[in-house]
Structure 1
Amino acid sequence: MSEARPKQFVAVFDFGAQYGQLIARRVRDLHVYSEIVPCDISADELAAMAPSAIILSGGPASVYAEGAPDMDARVFELGIPILGFCYGEQIMAVKLGGEVAHTDKGEYGPATLTRLGSSVLLDGTPEGGQTVWMSHRDSVSRAPEDFMVTGRTDTCPVAVMECPRRRLFATQFHPEVRHSEYGTRMLENFLFGVCHLEKSWTMEGIIDQKVEEIRQQVGSRKVILALSGGVDSSVVAALVHRAIGDQLTCVFVNHGMLRKGEPEMVEEVFREQFHMPLVHVHAEERYAKMLAGVTDPEKKRRLIGTEFWKVFFDEAQKIGDVEMLAQGTIYPDIIESGARKTGGKAATIKSHHNLIPFPEGVHFDLIEPLDHFFKDEVRELGIALGLPAKMVWRQPFPGPGLAIRIIGEVTPEKLAILKDADAIVREELDAYNQRLFEETGDRNSEHACWQYFAVLPDIRSVGVMGDERTYRRPIIVRAVESTDAMTADWAKLPYDVIGRISSRIVDEVDGVNRVVYDVTPKPPATIEWE
C-alpha cells in the first residue's frame, strides 16, 4: 500500500494472529497510522518502506514447529523500534539468542502480571498486580543477552522483556486486547515514549490528503461509481465528489429489493444534499421478470449480481468517455483476500468481493480511496464528510438485498410484506441501540445489536384475528451481536422490545399473523437465512 502511505507509520508483522487486525486498529485508535505486512518480508524491502516502528503480532504456531511463520533476523539490525506480542516475543527471543520452552501448563485468558523493577514499557502501570490477557503454551524461558525481564506471571517467568538500548520490547500477553487493563498505556509508552511518534492520523488531515491524492490520480478524466447506498460506496462518493466535483457520475441501480425508504434516501442525500450527477436506474420490473419462478438462493444471487453489472455497464456506455471506476474497497477486503497489496499469513480468508467482471473489451482504471481504512474509520470519515448518521451507521446489507431474505420465489406481494415488516424491526432496534448508546457512550456495546432484519419464510400459519381464523405468513426476526461477522450470537433483547416488534408487525403489516425470533448463534447457523 505504498502509493498512499503516510510518512510516519507502524508496520504490523502478520504471524497469523487472530488479533492481527486488532493490533493495527489499536495503533490507529491512538492516531498513528499502521499497516499489516507479511511476516516474511525481507529486511531490505522493509527498510525501503521506512516504517517508524514495528509490532510483531501473535500467532497460533510454535516457533520450533516445522513450517512455522518465520522472519528475516536482519530486521532486528535496522535500528527500528520493535514491540513483540506472544509469538512475536518468542520469535524475537529465538532470533536474538534467547530460548523458548514448551511448558506443561498453558495460560489462556486473564492472568495477573507482576512488575519486576523499573520498566520503560510498563511505566505508569501498577507495580503490584494488573490483569493481562494470555493465550499461549510455549513461552520464553531465557531472555536474550542485554534484555531485562520486567514482568512475570505465576506461569510465565518472562512475561515482559526489554532492551531499551536497542529499543526492543516484548510481552507474552496481548496488550491490544481490552482485557489487558493497561494495554493502551503500554502501547502509548512504546509509540510516544520510545518512538516519539506524533498523533497525525486524524480525519481532518486524512480528508485533505485523500482529496489531493484523488485529484492527482484522476486529473481531468471522468469517473463512474456504482452507488448502492451502503456505507462504503456512499463514503467513496462523498470523498471523490469533494475532490473532483462533477467529473464523478454515480449510477444507482434500483433492483427493487432494497429496504423500505432506501432509494428515496439515496436520492435525497446525493442529488439534493450533495448535488452530484446521479443516474437512478429503475430496474425493478426487469428484475421481477428475471426472478419469477426462481427459488434456489444461489441462483438468485448469481442472476442479481450478473444483471447488476450488465445494467451498470450499459449506463457507463451511455455516459461515454469514462476512464475510471471508483470502488468502496476497504482495508479488511485487501487483507482477507490477499489481493495486490498484502501477502500475510492471514491473507487468504476469502476472495475479494469487489473484483468486477468487466465485459470483453471494457476497461477502467480503478480508484479505491478507502483501501487504507477499517470499517469504523470509514464511518468516521463519512461523518466528517457530512453524510447523515443514518446512512453512515447503516448495518451490513447483502448485495442481492431482500431477495435472499425471502425464502423461495420472490414476488411483489412478498416484497411488500417483507419491506414493511423489516422497516418495523429496524425502527425499533435502531431506537433500542440508541438508548444503549446514550446509557453507555459506546456504539459497540457488547449488549447492542450489530445486525437485525426480518425474514419471510415460504410458509403460512394458522391464526385468529378478530374472532376469525386466518391463514397468513409468519415473519422471522433475526438480531445478532458480533464484531466481525465471523462469529455471532443472538441478541438477548428485552422481552418488552421483542413484544413491541411482534405487536407492531402483526397490527401494521397486512398478510402477517405470527412473529418468531431466531435464537441460533453463528456457527452453527449463518447470520443470513439464504
Structure 2
Amino acid sequence: MSAHISEERQHSVETMLSQDVGKTVVVVDFGSQYSQLIARRVRELRVYSHLVPYDATWETVSSLNPGAVILSGGPSSVYEPNAPRLPKWVLDSGLPVLAICYGLQLIAHEMGGQVAPANVKEYGPAELQVEDESSPLFDGLPKSQRVWMSHGDSVISLPEGFWCIGSTVASPYSVVTNGKIYGLQFHPEVVHTHYGREIISNFLFKIAGLEPVWTPSHFIEESIQRIKDEVGQAKVICALSGGVDSSVAATLIHKAIGDRLVCIFVNNGLLRLNEAEEVLGVLRDQQHLNIRYVDATDRFLSALHGVMDPEEKRKRIGECFIRVFEEEASKLGEIEFLAQGTLYPDVIESATADTKAAAKIKTHHNVGGLPPDLKFKLLEPLKYLFKDEVREVGKNLGLPDHIVYRHPFPGPGLAVRIIGEVTPERLDIVRRCDAIVRQEIEKAGMYREIWQAFAVLTPIRTVGVMGDARTYGYLVAVRAVTSEDAMTAHWARIPHEVLDSIGSRIVNEVHEVTRVVYDITNKPPGTIEWE
C-alpha cells in the first residue's frame, strides 16, 4: 500500500467534504503569495473554500460542489507566452467570479480587453473611489476607501459588456464587472485593505448567494461519519505528538471508531522539557486515549549523528518515525491506516500535488518527508483546515485549553532548533533555554497572544565575563512571533522587561550560554523556524 492517495479517492474525499459543508468557493491559484490567505478569509466568513492549481480540470472542480470562483493574483504578466491561462471551465460554468489582480487582468485579456505595463506601478496603499455605490459589491461601504495594490501591469481597455465601478488615480479600471464577474485590481484579502473583509462578504452572500454553514460542530459531525465510512472495520494507529493538531485528530478519530484507534507516542529525544510526562498525563490519564509509549531516543540520535543539513534532518526523522510505527503496528495485528494531524498549510508549503502553483518552502515530515514504501494508508481528517479552525474543533470536542492553545511544535522537534549537528549535550542546552522562554512568556500573560515562542541554539561561540572571569559559550536566539495560521507571521513586540528576564535567566541558569539575541524577522522573508 502507498502513502499517496489515488486521484480518484482524493476527489471522493473532497466531494464528500464540500457537500457536507454546503457550496464551496473554489480559489484558483495563479502563484500569488496571498492565495492561501484568500481561502482563509472565505472560511472566516463561514463558507468552505478550497484551493486548486490553475490547471485543475472541471472534473476536479465540479466534485467540490462549487458555488463561486475566486481567481488569485500571481507574479506573471498575462501577455507573456508561458503565463498561466484562464481555465475554460471558469467561464463555461456560469459561476459567480471574483477576479483579483492577475485574475482581473486574465479576465480582461482573454475576453477581449487589453492589459499592458502600467505607467505607474502600484505597490502599497491607494485610495479607491467607488463609481457605482448601488453595486452589491460595495453595499454598506464608503465611497472612498483605502486598498492595497501590488501590480506592475494594468487593464487599459475593458472587454465588451464590462463597466467600471471603482478607480484609483493610477488604475482607472480598479474594479470592473459585467454583472456576473467582478474584477479587483487591489487585494481585498490583506488587512491593509480597510474594507476587504466586507467586500469579500458582499461577493459571497449578496452576489453569489452562498450560506455561512462552515462551522466546527458541523465539521465534527460530518468528519466522524466520513472517518467511519473510510476506515470501515479496520484498525488505525495515530502518530500522537501531544500538540493540538495530533490531539484533535486523535480525539476526532476516537469518537468515530473507539478502541480500534491506537495512539503511538514516540519519545524521540527531541521533545521539550517534561513534555513526555505532560502528554501522557493529559491525553492518556485524563482524556482516556489508548496510548502506547515508545522511548526511541537512542535510535533517533543515532540517525542524526553527524547530520548538519536541515532537510536531511527532517527526512531522517520522518524515516525513523515511520519505522517505529511499523514495528509497533506489527505487535497490534493487522493495521491498515496511519493517522496524522496534517493541516492545510502543511500541504501548501510542501507543494504536493494538491498545490502545483505553490513554491516549495520546506518539507513537512507529515507530508513530503514520508518514505515511498510506507505500509499504511494515510488518514488525515484535518488536512483541509487552518490552525485556528483546528483550535475551534478542539474546543468543540472538549479538549482542555492548555492543549487547544498550545504553541505549535515542529514535527522534527528540537532538531531544527539546533543549528548544526544534534547531540545530547546540545539538546540539553536548548531544552533548558526553551523552558525559560515559555515560562517567562506565560508569567507575563502573553502566551495566548503569541503564536510561537522558543529558543534556538546556534553553533556560534562568544566571549563573556562572569565572576571577573572570561567565559566562552554559545549564542542563543530567542524567537517569538504573532500569526493567525503560520502562513505569514510578525515578530512579537515583547516588552523589554520580559526580554530582560528571559536573557538574564538563560545566561545565569544555562551556564553553557554567554549571549542571547532576539530575532526580529517577519515571515516572509524568513520562516518561523530557523531550519
Fold agreement, TM-score > 0.5: yes
Map of 1:58 onto structure 2: 73
Say which SS state the counterpart of residue 69 (structure 2) adopts: strand
How big is the shift at 1:370?
A: 1.0
Partner residue of 1:394 out of 406, 409, 413: 406
1:354-369 correspondence runs (5 A): 354=366, 355=368, 357=370, 363-369=375-381
Contact 1:249 1:278 survives alignment (8 Å): yes
Q: Over alpha carbons, which structure has the higher Rg?
A: 1
- Asked whether 1:35 is paired with 2:37, we answer no
Q: 1: CA distance between counterparts of 2:316 and 2:107?
A: 51
Say which SS state the counterpart of residue 5 (structure 1) adopts: helix
Contact 1:133 1:174 survives alignment (8 Å): yes
Map of 2:247 onto structure 1: 234
Partner residue of 2:34 out of 19, 22, 34: 19
| Code of the aligned partner of 2:516 | V
Q: 2: CA distance between counterparts of 1:103 and 1:408?
A: 46
Map of 1:92 onto structure 2: 107
1:407-426 correspondence runs (5 A): 412-426=424-438
| Code of the aligned partner of 1:103 | A
Contact 1:425 1:477 survives alignment (8 Å): no
How big is the shift at 1:44?
A: 6.0
Q: 2: CA distance between counterparts of 1:116 and 1:529?
A: 47
| Code of the aligned partner of 1:452 | F
Q: Residues 335-356 of structure 1: CA distance to partner in whole angstroms, max 9, x if unpaired?
A: 344434x354226555563256
| Code of the aligned partner of 1:231 | V
Contact 1:147 1:162 survives alignment (8 Å): yes
Q: Which runs of 5+ in 1 are unaligned?
A: 438-442
- Asked whether 1:121 is paired with 2:122, we answer no
Contact 1:57 1:87 survives alignment (8 Å): yes
Considering Cα pairs closer than 8 Å and 6+ residues apart, tell me whether 1 or 2 has the greater RCO.
2
- Asked whether 1:218 is paired with 2:231, we answer yes
Q: 2: CA distance between counterparts of 1:529 and 1:160?
A: 40
Partner residue of 2:387 out of 375, 393, 396: 375
Flag the 1:433–1:187 CA change in 2: closer, same or farther, 3 A. Answer: farther
Give the structure-2-normalised TM-score.
0.87
Which of 109-118 and 346-355 deviates more? 346-355
Contact 2:481 2:528 survives alignment (8 Å): no
Flag the 1:433–1:54 CA change in 2: closer, same or farther, 3 A. Answer: farther
Contact 1:250 1:278 survives alignment (8 Å): yes
Q: 2: CA distance between counterparts of 1:49 and 1:301?
A: 33
Give the number of aligned pairs.
Answer: 511
The RMSD of aligned alpha carbons is 3.0
Q: 1: CA distance between counterparts of 2:198 and 2:525?
A: 38
1:74-113 correspondence runs (5 A): 74-113=89-128
How big is the shift at 1:493?
A: 3.2
1:354-503 correspondence runs (5 A): 354=366, 355=368, 357=370, 363-406=375-418, 412-432=424-444, 434=446, 443=449, 448=450, 450-455=452-457, 457=459, 459=461, 461-465=463-467, 469=469, 471=471, 473-474=473-474, 476-481=476-481, 483=483, 491-503=492-504
Q: Residues 158-194 of structure 1: CA distance to partner in whole angstroms, max 9, x if unpaired?
A: 1111222xx2211111111111111111111111111
Flag the 1:21–1:433 CA change in 2: closer, same or farther, 3 A. Answer: farther
Flag the 1:125–1:499 CA change in 2: closer, same or farther, 3 A. Answer: same
How big is the shift at 1:286?
A: 4.6
How big is the shift at 1:527?
A: 5.2
Q: Which runs of 5+ in 2 are unaligned?
A: 1-13
Give the structure-1-normalised TM-score.
0.87
Q: 2: CA distance between counterparts of 1:457 and 1:398?
A: 20
Map of 1:440 onto structure 2: none
Q: 1: CA distance between counterparts of 2:299 and 2:146?
A: 59
